[in-house]
Amino acid sequence: MKMSSLCVKSANNKETTHPHQLPIYATSSFVFEEVEDSIDIFTGQRKGHVYSRYGNPTVDAVAEKISRLETFGSDIEAFGLMTSSGMSAISTVIASLFKKGDKLITQGNLYGGTTELIKKVFVKMGMEAAFIDLTDLNLLEKHLKEDDQIKMIYFETPSNPTLDCIDIKGVAQLAKKYNIKTIVDNTFCTPYLQQPLLLGVDYVIHSTTKYLSGHGNTIAGAIIGREEDKSLVWQHLKLMGTNCNPFDAWLVNNGLKTLSLRMDRHSKNAQELATYLQNHKMVSKVNYNGLSDHPFHKLAKKQMSQFGGMLSFEVKGGMKAALKCMNRLKFCTQAPTLGDVDTLILHPATSSHLNIPESMRIENGISDGLIRVSVGIEDIEDLKADFDQAFAEC
């Protein structure tokens, strides 16, 4: 062998014992010793990795871990697939289920990007979409009875950013009655606080960018469903190229190690901050399901083990007062994401829901004075002190 050829060839793998931590398989493809091996894997006669868009050992290991978390305590056999973002998780699973002329039912108070995806992409592709109040199960059944073109129900619970809760079990039972698929965004809760598959839902999606990772250093998503439904979703992921890369999956895996510890602290801090805000003269309304007088408190308590780290509140004085308050906050960070270990604030009307029609936004409780808070794991006294000084100047 010439030296120039030696430069090209991969270094020999000297691994002699099993690594303690999951390795990053930074490779686009995998080697076959014989062509028959390739034939067997490509034809599905045996399992194996061929190309990282189809599957990668790092990515598959983390996806499988997330699926085990979503089904923990049950005998459900589930698959997990990781995607390039939370939005790609949503688009992949919807694309795998819908055909032209099908109708999707969802809620009006979704994350703004999801609403835009449905209206600006899938509706253009021939989907019909209805935005209704999914907290009203009688209204939902009326729609299902009257329209056999409805094939999917997509929802978030709690919703982003108003924290409304939807009865997961109730929706799932109605959907099964009318042979309709259900998809739930479980990003706010994570499987540590809520397990929609155990309540009858068909598919769960996550923006793993958020709480599952928890450190604001990765963008990825996940789809979890029953094992018998994997093939169709995986086929669309493979052909649409919405797969996750191994480095982002590896970062998510690192975050998962502290998920339970973080979610306990996020929930505790959010409960204390919500109570503080509820009693402040500058605040007209607090959206947090842990408050006993919140309209969805009982439902949240029924289907969630804790109330999570997300809340939103309305500042008296509308947009002007809300923006002034946000600019005065110094300990909290203004950032268009959530689920990090530090506290993040966002003004939905001018960011996440900027492109949602104002009438639809206001109707669903996303007012000009609404501030969303992703409560971090810092000392709660530091958080309250920051709000104290901000409100003093508003």
Q: Say whether both 42 and 184 belong to one domain.
A: yes
Q: Say whether both 241 and 361 belong to one domain.
A: no
Q: Which residues contact 269 (CB under 8 A, 6 or more apart)?
A: 309, 375, 376, 377, 378, 380, 383
Domain boundary among 219, 236, 256: 256
In a domain, 55, yes or no: yes
Q: Say whether both 185 and 111 belong to one domain.
A: yes
Q: Say whether both 209 and 81 belong to one domain.
A: yes
In a domain, 301, yes or no: yes
Q: Say whether both 169 and 223 belong to one domain.
A: yes
In a domain, 386, yes or no: yes
Q: Which residues contact 179 (CB under 8 A, 6 or more apart)?
A: none
Q: Say whether both 243 and 134 belong to one domain.
A: yes
Domain boundary among 256, 290, 306: 256
> How far is the C-alpha of 98 from the C-alpha of 305, rounded, in Å?
33
Which of 210, 262, 265, 361 is catalytic? The answer is 210
Q: Say whether both 98 and 197 belong to one domain.
A: yes
In a domain, 208, yes or no: yes
Which of 111, 203, 211, 288 is catalytic? The answer is 111
CATH of the domain at 366: 3.90.1150.10
- The pLDDT tens digits for 329-342 are 999 999 999 999 99
Q: Closest Cα partner for 333 from 346, 344, 322, 347?
A: 344
CATH of the domain at 242: 3.40.640.10
Q: Residue 372 belongs to what domain range?
A: 259-392
210 is catalytic: yes
In a domain, 19, yes or no: no
- The pLDDT tens digits for 177-196 are 999 999 999 999 999 999 99
Q: Say whether both 238 and 290 belong to one domain.
A: no
Q: Say whether both 285 and 246 belong to one domain.
A: no
In a domain, 302, yes or no: yes
- The pLDDT tens digits for 212-263 are 999 999 999 999 999 999 999 999 999 999 999 999 999 999 999 999 999 9
Which of 37, 53, 276, 384 is catalytic? The answer is 53
Report which residue type is found at 30: F
Q: What's the confidence (pLDDT) of residue 71? A: 98
Predicted confidence (pLDDT) at residue 37 exceeds the cutoff of 80: no
- The pLDDT tens digits for 263-321 are 999 999 999 999 999 999 999 999 999 999 999 999 999 999 999 999 999 999 999 99
Per the structure, the count of domains in the chain is 2
Q: Say whether both 298 and 211 belong to one domain.
A: no
Q: Say whether both 274 and 246 belong to one domain.
A: no
- The pLDDT tens digits for 96-149 are 999 999 999 999 999 989 999 999 999 999 999 999 999 999 999 999 999 999
In a domain, 16, yes or no: no
In terms of C-beta distances under 8 Å and separation of at least 24 residues, what long-range contacts does 365-368 make, across chains too? 365/109, 365/162, 365/164, 365/287, 366/109, 366/161, 366/162, 367/314, 367/318, 368/318, 368/319, 368/322
Q: Closest Cα partner for 108 from 285, 298, 359?
A: 359
Q: Say whether both 162 and 305 belong to one domain.
A: no
Which of 164, 185, 229, 248 is catalytic? The answer is 185
185 is catalytic: yes
